[in-house]
């Protein structure tokens, strides 16, 4: 899609929802279809399947299921500068067998200063913000610069 100065270029948006939140994310995607339709959507495996069932016209790239490496695939996209924002509907009431992967994904979003919404309220704020589409991968200096003390530590 071409873009004018009024239309920010396409972002790649990561979508993830724990099982107890997948339907809610499907509803959120449907409610924000107009905005999301301008961007590339990439989701962990089962989330992608449920979102497509609820929104059949949407083009969503599915990765592996979270516990099989999907969270880490999203993390790799962040580390490589290919993911512009992350929307992750976390279920705070269910223990996750792959909790370490969940933490790693959220941590990488923090390290690389990627906008990350971990519940619907924050996702609503994010998608209605004038900074949506402006703050994205590469908007801030690279992590190696921001964490220069760590990057340049003596070992």
Interface residue list for ligand 13P (CB under 6 A):
16, 18, 44-47, 65-67, 70-71, 96, 102
Q: Is 4 annotated as a binding residue?
A: no
Residue 67 CB, nearest distance to ligand 13P (Å)?
A: 6
The residue among 96 and 119 lying less far from ligand 13P, judged by its C-beta, is 96
Known binding residue 47? Answer is yes
**Could you give the residue numbers annotated as active site?**
71
Q: How far is the CB of 59 from ligand 13P (least distance, A)?
A: 17
The smaller minimum CB distance to ligand 13P, of residues 38 and 98, is found at: 98
Q: What is the DSSP string of 88-127?
A: EE--TTS--TTHHHHHHHHHHHHHTT--EE-SHHHHHHHH
CB of 15 to ligand 13P, least distance (A): 9
* Distance from chain centroid for Cα 118: 9
Compute the residue count for the chain.
Answer: 155
Q: Are strands 12-17 and 85-89 parallel, antiparallel or unpaired?
A: parallel
For ligand 13P, the closer CB: 17 or 126: 17
Alpha carbons 149 and 147: distance in angstroms, whole number: 6
Binding site per annotation, positions for substrate: 18, 22, 44-47, 65-66, 98
């Amino acid at each position: 899609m071409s873009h004018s100065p009024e239309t920010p270029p396409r972002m790649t948006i990561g979508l993830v929802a724990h099982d107890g939140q997948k339907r809610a994310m499907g509803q959120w995607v449907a409610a924000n279809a107009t905005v999301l339709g301008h961007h590339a959507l990439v989701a962990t495996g089962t989330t992608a399947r449920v979102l497509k069932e609820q929104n059949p016209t949407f083009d969503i790239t599915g990765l592996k299921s979270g516990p099989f490496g999907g969270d880490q695939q999203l993390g790799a996209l962040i580390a490589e500068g290919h993911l512009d924002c992350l929307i992750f509907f976390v279920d705070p009431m269910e223990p996750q067998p792959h909790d370490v992967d969940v933490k790693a994904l959220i941590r990488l979003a923090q390290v690389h200063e990627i906008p990350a919404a971990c519940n619907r309220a924050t996702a609503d704020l994010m998608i209605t913000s004038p900074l949506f589409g402006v703050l994205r991968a590469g908007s801030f200096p690279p992590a190696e610069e921001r964490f220069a003390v760590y990057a340049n530590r003596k070992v």
